Structure 1
Amino acid sequence: MCRSQVALLILPLILAWLTRDSSEALSTFGVSNTRPPSPSPTTPPARPCSRQADCAGISSSSCVRTHYDTATRCLCGDNTTPLNGQCDSVAKSLYHVCSNSDECNEGLICGAPNVTTASPPHMKVFSPQDKICLCDSDNGFKEKDHTCSDADILKTSMLAVLVVIGIRKAIQSGY
């Protein structure tokens, strides 16, 4: 199979990927989108907390701080606000209380928090007996800005860039 055939096979896939979920943003050439934006529902903020026990009345919630809020709040495992005192999320994000690693999202393990006098305020809501979802440092996950980062994401991004550059060069060279 020559380069031009490979480029012809891959090009529609890339175009489909680039245009997916953007049908709202794209319009017919020369015609503007005149529909008003739909109002976004506003959810009241979750209950503030200063320790894990403050969230005891809300099932499956944890007293956590997220990157988008400076206060610690009783949030569901996916960092959403509980609805009617209930959480529907199954997997838990960083800092959520857990009993085993199966409850935590990928890249997280269930372990005891390192709470000392020098710990950041969002960690002082836990007691040393609590177990929470933490970044799995043994498998290369590191905490940064209240999330766990993985070197594989960077590798995947670089691979995607290289594939696009290769396809572009194949197209420019006349297939």
Structure 2
Amino acid sequence: MAQESKPRALRYALTTVPSPLTASPPHAEPGNEDELAYGSVDIVISNSGSSTVRCQRITIALPVGPLAQDLALTGGGIAPYVEPASGWKIAGSQPDPSTVRFSVEPSGEVGKVTADGLRVTLKNIAVSNKTGVSYIEIEEWATTGEEIPETPNTGTLEVAKFPFRSGTNRP
């Protein structure tokens, strides 16, 4: 029997550079003032409780495409980083036509999140050219108990893309 998803064991917050993100122009052409808008997303992951959170993996999924709910025009070229790099790694990206996923994994079998949190940075995102709100999907295989769940805890983070204004798309 499949386990149902539970509330996330970790807490998540995000910020963007630039802040706020600006949608790319509708007809971007390289070399002119109306080039694609690029941005970064920083996600802070922390333990807001007093019990150690054991974590096997965190997946961050960005919506990709030409719609208002898409964050990125394409999943290619996004540069992921995680801090602290000594205990965690980005296992790679898995792009598909509508999503690009980044898997954050501990260097060992299971990571422990106590007083120190993590920071995941996704740089060089070609921002979608439609104004709107995007939802970054989070899946975590984490628990304060002994056994890591088979079904991930899930949630979303909201990020807005404001209208393009000529001359304001440079980070």
TM-score normalised by L of structure 1: 0.21
Higher relative contact order (CA 8 A, sep 6+): 2
Could you say which structure has the higher helix fraction?
1
Larger Rg: 1
TM-score normalised by L of structure 2: 0.22
Could you say which structure has the higher strand fraction?
2
